[in-house]
Amino acid sequence: MHVVVDLNKCQDHGQCVFSAPSVFSLDGQGKLAFRAEASGTYVSPSLGEDHRDDVEEAADVCPLQAITVED
């Protein structure tokens, strides 16, 4: 399972951080930390099933609907 974030859609609301703090974080400027690792689209490393409920919640609550969970 991976999370995919459309960094062009993302507007750094941070709701994902509150739902899945083990996966998402904001940097010191309040920007999604993945922006340092990718531009355009961020694809996470493979995540364990124990993250699934949290990352699905993060995808649901993203105001821009910029997060997808892919198997």
Partner 1 sequence: MATDRVVVVGASMAGLRAAEAVRKAGYAGEVVVIGDEPHMPYNRPPLSKTALGTAPDDLSFRIPRHARDATWRLGEPVTAADLSARTVTLSGGDTLGWSGLVIASGLRPRRLPLPGPDRCVIRTLEDAARVRAALRPGTRLVVVGAGFVGCEVAAAARTLGARVDVVAPERVPVERPLGPLLGAALQRRHEAHGVRFHLGTVPVEYREASVVLGDGTELPADLVVEAVGCTPATEWLAGTGLDLTDGVLCDNALRAGGRPDVVACGDLARFPNPLFDAVPRRVEHWTMATDTGKRAGTTLARHLTGAVGDEPPFAPLPSFWSDQYGFRLQSYGAVGPADDVRVLEGDPDGEVAVGYHRTGRLTGVVLLGLGARYAHYRSLVTSAADLALR
Q: How far apart are CA 25 and CA 65, in angstroms?
A: 17
Q: Closest CB to partner 1 among 7 and 26?
A: 26
The interface mask with partner 1, positions 6-45, x = CB under 8 A, is -----xxxxx-xx-------x-xxxx--------------
Considering only CA atoms, which of 70, 1, 49, 57 is closest in space to residue 24? 57
Q: Closest CB to partner 1 among 25 and 39?
A: 25
Based on the shown chain and the rule CB under 8 A, indicate whether residue 60 belongs to the binding site for partner 1: yes
Based on the shown chain and the rule CB under 8 A, indicate whether residue 3 belongs to the binding site for partner 1: no
Q: How far apart are CA 18 and CA 10, in angstroms?
A: 15
